[in-house]
Chains A and B, each alone.
Chain A
Amino acid sequence: MNRKKDKGFESPRPYKLTHQVVCINNINFQRKSVIGYVELTVFPTVVNLNRIKLNSKQCRIYRVRVNDLEAPFIYNDPTLEVCHHESKQRNLNYFSSAYTAAVTAVDPDAGNGELCIKVPSELWKQGDEMKVLKVYIEFSLDQPKGGLHFVVPDVEGSMAERGAHVFSFGYQNSTRFWFPCVDSYSELCTWKLEFTVDASMVAVSCGDMLETVYTHDMRKKTFHYMLPIPTAAPNISLAVGPFEILVDPYMHEVTHFCLPQLLPLLKHTMSYLHEIFEFYEEILTCRYPYSCFKTVFVDEAYVQVSSYASMSIFSTNLLHSTMIIDQTPLTRRCLAQALAQQFFGCFISRMSWADEWVLKGISGYIYGLYLKKTFGVNEYRHWIKEEMDRITDYELKMGGVLLHPTFGGGKEKDNPTPHLHFSIKHPHTLSWEYYNMFQCKAHLVMRLIENRISMEFMLQVFNKLLSLASTASSQKYQSHMWSQMLVSTSSFLKSISNVSGKDIGPLIKQWVEQSGVVKFFGSFAFNRKRNVLELEIRQDYTSSGTQKYVGPIKVTVQELDGSFNHTLQIEENSLKHDIPCHSKSRRNKKKKIPLMNGEEVDMDLSAMDADSPLLWIRIDPDMSILRKVEFEQADFMWQYQLRYERDVVAQEESITALEKFPTPASRLALTDILEQDQCFYKVRMLACFCLAQIANSMMSTWTGPPAMKSLFTRMFCCKSCPNIVKTNNFLNFQTYFLQKTMPVAMALLRDVQNLCPKDVLNFILDLIKYNDNRKNKFSDNYYRAELIDALCNSLTPAISISNEVRTVDNLNADVRLILEEITRFLNMEKLLPSYRNIITVSCLRAIRTLQKNGHIPSDPSLFKSYAEHGHFVDVRVAALEALVDYTRVDRSSEELQWLLTMVQNDPIHYVRHRILSMLGNNPPFTKAAESQLCTEALVDQLWKLMNSGTSHDWRLRCDAMNLYYTLFGLTRPSCLPLPELGLVLNLKEKKALLNPTIKPEQPVAAPELPAPMTFSAEEEHLVTDTPPIPVPPPSQALKRKLDTPLGSPPEPGQVLQDEPSIKIPMKGRFPTQEEEDIDMETVHDSQAFIYHHLNMLERPSTPGKEPPSVEQSLLSMPATPMPMPMPMPMPMPMPMPMFGKESSSSSKHGEHHHHHHHHHEHKKKKKKHKHKHKHKHKHDSKEKERDAHAFSNSPASGRSMRSPSLSD
């Protein structure tokens, strides 16, 4: 059934969604709650569609109706708590597989979902396949922890005056966090979106805004949006706030929104967006697919850029004024990225997760083209090199990145990425860093394809994809064309072969279906007799993250007579390649030397080897392989390459190589490059650092003033008084960047005592002193910040005498000067804050360096105060970074606790994410080393964090897993009691238990993908099972209607009541979680089910501390006794409860025990899981406490009063 053919797209669902209405009729900023409903128009694609699975997380669902009939439903989210019991299991392997199983269990791409709606039998009995079903779901969100983010500044005034706003966010498909939907990129439908907001607010969402209508009291207005282009739910977003509106002056269909007071910045920032539009439309020869585009700048953004259908949400921190230089290119890049994703990512969506690389690749690739056009070829090549270095470094360190994971038929046991501690089957299980690398690799591979088939064809392919999609988008659903808006790897490859006629199969196999990069080692010898260059290229393909490359490789040889390209074949066992040289090794001094670009230059050839005509050699100069090359050639060759090769990549490579050759010749070459203003500024910046390093290596023989000093003086200081820097003039950006960088590099110079030379320090202090920006058109805040960085770089460890306490009195004189500057800068920031508080950031970093080097007492309190919520986010991150570092250096468990508390409580998701990732990058301890920080309590805390504390944010959960991995590794943390202990415990339980500490099998027994056959079998099973259940629909629904006061949607009673009907077939209900050890998994599953089933009752939204409201809970009690009459065996009948609270918990107990029994019978032989029971109990009793609050704080206030069950 699920056999996918190459072209067609088969939905994993037994129905097709065609249209969805999302209506949010109340947004309460005070309570941070949202109420609304959705209506999905669904076409069944099977006879007897009896269940509809949808995605929904943390939404509290009040009622579900299918074609106006009340429909029972189950809400089960296994990802809320991955391991459902307080097992002693603490190894990451176990967690990772359980997590993957949980994600799979609700994965819309596998046809699953958290919300399972039972179609009323009247409807499915009709048997008409094409009968439209309208699924209506009322829901609310209360203090959502994911999906929607409320920003409510704590100041006086109305919400609009405060700048309160709310926006949707998420990593990959996360729309389910804020409304029930099919949260898949492959399920497209048209949309109608309605948002009723305060009259002072604007609601920005996807599609065309049709109209805005006041409510009757005129205090609110409703924004009506229509999105006629079929769009996947994850591409739907919303932003509501008192935004200032700017209609783009060049394109009136484009509207920009920013928070109050920022309009001038918005105007400036957006003044070039039209150029990006024009560029993309031109290269793609395709109009922007949507009829309008909206950009919204919000505070506390989750990521800098997120793209949704016809709108993008940006971080407000990207806005800048005309005076800011450094942020401008960064912001432009973000805008370009966002727009590229509009075409590929939003308009064109993907069929499955495995096809994600195509979208990321194409959008990244066309973004690269934009970079090339706007910032120039140098910048583009520099960027490609940078990205290449990033991906190779990452893969060589962490293991391969696989773009197109194939999981053959769901039966495959072997994990394609065994080196990773997470599964790459789902976007939601990936580590964030991996995902970034994935994107990076995707666009690099796209560039490789371009190299292979030419850019023209490449653009034709894109155009073809786009025009197919736009044709499809204008069709009705019935034409079955919508799937053409989905791109898949195979359809993409097919387009390529159709357009270009070339077979790129090997390329795809190498880079897309296989992980790893290539690592080359190159060396050569020149054979004078034969006038041949003997090149040896070796590969390392055994280390992790590498792969073997076989195929062509380009080598460029610069000889005296010119530059020559050679294409060599890398084959299995040929390492050596003979390349005939064109020139005789002669010295014709008069002759100019032709370069690759046709230029002819004079060179001083005295440095080169008299016998050889070779000036330099480059391997794979076009970066057409994802590789890392370590090439050996003589220092003079690198120097020639640096001076005369015009490619910035070559120049950068030679600079890196020259670090190993600290000679006067290298120094000269670098200085020359530094001075040459035709040279790309980033190369010159790189040369600064290399020069500093060379100077340090040449310390004893260095003559003249400190490196770069005289150059800086010549370039930037006054002619008459060389110790005074000119007043700032940053009109020339290249020199501006150089001016910023040189002091930072100079500060790295060291003298014989390994101290920063006095000269240099004074020089930098003078730069600070004489800095004068009054005549400058641009802000100098970045420059000043870098001068502080320079001061910070000049610091060396203090000579500590017998570990004395650092006091003011024994402060080193130089350090005192530095500290004075830092103090002044930091204090001035309070009075005249710099853009993005960049100076504070630098100061905090410098203070931490002072502390670390023992100049001032190590103390985290300053950083803690800057890390608090309420500071600018960059400042917070800098302070947190210092704290993370402090935690590591001082092994402070107190600070670690403080950080972890912040991870749990901070309102800003980005900050939480950063703390965890910084802890991962700079861990307080690692699995390799012993540490007193590594305690059982910490293990439990982190485990809890990833198990249940981060269920609202996929990214954060993966961050927590990363940290856990860094700290404890894949296996059981070493600080936990020995496994023997665990065994004893289990023996007490009279179970032979091997379980808690045993890790080996589980990872291997990775959860399988739902086998489609099982699934359908399951369905049938359900169908046959359902009749015996008497409770369900017709009469009940009717009755309920009668009983229910108008407009009181939520019916907890109903929920309770309906569940049993589904419960019996339950055992097998999550085939997705089945593992090798089926029995175990079934138990696991059934428990999971019960657990969540219960869970749903008590906390339909994400678990969290819900403020108890006794009255309400009391009022709502009567609703709960309902479940008692349900037709299930209750082995431990409880006394009939007086209060709902008890009843609900007791009912739970009932169910629970029921299951126990069940379990026991079942399990006698399989004892493994005994312990789970125990913990399950514990858990339950805990849950009991919470029951009281179930539903208590629902935003729908009237709801607690009525209950259909009352009448019972």
Chain B
Amino acid sequence: MADPAVMGSHTLNLGMRSGTNKASTSPAENYYLARRRTLQVVVSSLLTECGYESAEKAAVESLTEMMQSYITEIGRCAKTYCEHTARSVPTLPDVVITLIEMGFNVDTLPVYAKRSQRMVITAPPVTNPPVIPKALIAGQKRTHPAHIPSHFPEFPDPHTYIKTPTFREPVSDYQVVREKAASQRRDVERALTRFMAKTGQTQSLFKDDVTAFPLIAARPSSIPYLNALLPSELELQALEETDSSEQDDQTDSENNPGNITNDDSGVDKENSGLPSGGVVPTVKASEENMIDNPYLRPVKKPKVRRKK
């Protein structure tokens, strides 16, 4: 009951995750393509400004590449300068220095920017910003306990450390248990007997449909009483389980009356160095008993005198 629910939510999460992944890859692509396209437009308009009427695609590509490299270099260097001064966000002077470093006459820039024949380029269409894929959320994210300063990194996602129970709640309803046990046993028995019936000879109660109630054929055995009298293995097993303790008790008490004295003497003897242990006295006693009984006596050798 609980399990399917868990499973369901699980798969649901999975689905969501794969969904976000797709969305995040294609917008990034789009962004890159858009930037590239914008740069191409810029290159083309600069060429037009300069008086070119047409340009080879490859040339435009090269110029675009150069332009991109250049801008990237500016960004990189500006960032470096800013970080050099222990800041994280570049400022205008950083860029200026960069430009200077790159051999660019900064003073020409305002003029150039305000040139008359400059072409206005429309802003690239706004593409939705790439969504950062959401981390899997399993369970409640833990906040820091009081003794951990808040600036310390947050706890990782709970799914990395919490255990998720995947077993089903045991059914404790007696009726259901009995019901299950009963039907299970019945099914097993039925299946087993059906199988036996199918694989061996059968007898049938009906003439019209011999498969209806298949009876495993009766097979005579040479020593029928053994099967009939000896408890089956199953029963023996059950017996061991149920009353092994009880039996122990019984044998203990049975042995006691006869053995207590024996045991004592055994201990004494042990002290005096005789080779008898706790168990030996009983064996010994039974050996003595054996002597009484003629059936336990050894068989005699034939007398020599007797002639064949």
Contact = CB atoms under 8 A, between A and B. Distances in A.
Query: What is the size category of the interface that chain B forms with chain A?
Result: 35 or more
Contacts of A718: 174-175, 178
A770 B175 contact: no
Contacts of B224: 870-873
B192 A831 contact: yes
A210 interface: yes
A696 to B, nearest CB: 29
A827 B234 CA distance: 16
Contact of A265 (B175, B178, B181, B230): B230
Contact of A214 (B209, B217, B242, B300): B300
B151 interface: no
Contacts of A850: 205
Given A221-B299, A265-B230, A830-B196, A777 B175 contact: no
B205 A870 contact: no
A212 B296 contact: no
A155 B222 contact: yes
Given A155-B223, A828-B193, A214 B205 contact: no
Contact of A870 (B208, B220, B302): B220
A28 B234 CA distance: 39
B258 to A, nearest CB: 10
B6 interface: no
B302 A214 contact: yes
B167 interface: no
B232 A833 contact: yes
A872 B207 contact: no
B95 interface: no
A551 B229 CA distance: 51
Interface in B280-302: 289-290, 292-297, 299-302
A322 B247 CA distance: 11
A865 B203 contact: yes
Contact of A862 (B197, B203, B232, B295): B203
B234 A833 contact: no
Interface string A140-183: 00000000000001110000001100000000000000000000
Nearest to B207: A857
Contacts of A321: 230-231
A83 B302 CA distance: 51
Contact of A827 (B193, B227, B242, B306): B193
A199 B300 CA distance: 12
Contact of A299 (B225, B289, B301): B225
A215 B302 contact: yes
A713 interface: no
A824 B190 CA distance: 6
Contacts, number: 195
Nearest to A870: B220
B162 interface: no
Interface stretch (A121-129, A312-320, A333-341, A598-606): A312-320
B293 A252 contact: yes
Interface in A830-846: 830-837
Interface stretch (A88-96, A801-809, A887-895, A1037-1045): A801-809
A773 interface: yes
B228 interface: yes
Interface string A206-222: 00111111111010010
A826 interface: yes
B222 A832 contact: no
Contact of A831 (B193, B208, B215, B243): B193
B206 A316 contact: no
Given A319-B229, A823-B213, A828-B193, A770 B178 contact: yes
The winner among B216, B225, B231, B295 for most chain A CB atoms within 10 A is B225
A396 to B, nearest CB: 38
Given A720-B174, A868-B220, A213 B302 contact: yes
B175 to A, nearest CB: 4
Contacts of B190: 824
A1023 interface: no
B303 interface: yes
A323 B235 contact: yes
A18 B214 CA distance: 65
Given A819-B213, A865-B217, A772 B290 contact: no
A212 B301 CA distance: 9
Interface string A950-992: 0000000000000000000000000000000000000000000
A782 to B, nearest CB: 13
Given A221-B299, A865-B218, A316 B225 contact: yes
A31 interface: no
B239 interface: yes
A208 B197 contact: no
Contacts of A824: 186, 189-190, 193
A835 B226 CA distance: 10
B308 interface: yes
B186 A769 contact: yes
Nearest to B197: A827
A323 B231 contact: yes
B221 interface: yes
A255 B296 CA distance: 10
A253 interface: yes
A862 B205 contact: yes
Interface in A774-823: 774-777, 779, 805-809, 819-820, 823
B137 interface: no
B175 A724 contact: yes
Contact of A245 (B174, B182, B214, B295): B295
A961 B37 CA distance: 122
A212 B193 contact: no
A214 B231 contact: no
B217 to A, nearest CB: 7
Contacts of A830: 196, 216, 219
B192 to A, nearest CB: 7
A285 to B, nearest CB: 25
Contact of A317 (B209, B213, B225, B230): B225
Interface string B236-255: 00110011001000000000
Nearest to A847: B205
A779 B228 CA distance: 13
A774 B231 contact: no
B58 interface: no
A861 interface: yes
A835 B228 contact: yes
B212 interface: yes
A193 to B, nearest CB: 13
Interface string A251-274: 011010001011001000000000
B215 A826 contact: yes
A866 interface: yes
B293 A216 contact: no
A861 B293 contact: no
A827 B239 contact: no
Nearest to A256: B295
Nearest to B204: A862
Contacts of B216: 826-827, 830
Contact of B289 (A247, A823, A870): A247
A663 B132 CA distance: 88
Contacts of A210: 294
A247 B223 contact: no
Given A317-B228, A830-B216, A832-B232, A255 B295 contact: yes
Interface of B: 174-175, 178-179, 181-183, 186, 189-190, 192-193, 196-197, 203, 205-209, 212-232, 234-235, 238-239, 242-243, 246, 289-290, 292-297, 299-303, 306, 308
Given A202-B295, A769-B186, A776-B238, 14 more contacts: A155-B223, A162-B223, A216-B308, A779-B231, A808-B208, A823-B213, A824-B186, A827-B216, A833-B227, A834-B232, A837-B228, A859-B205, A871-B221, A872-B224
8 contacts: A316-B225, A317-B229, A721-B178, A724-B179, A769-B182, A769-B186, A779-B235, A835-B231
Leading 4 A-B pairs by shortest Cβ distance? A870-B220, A827-B193, A872-B228, A721-B175
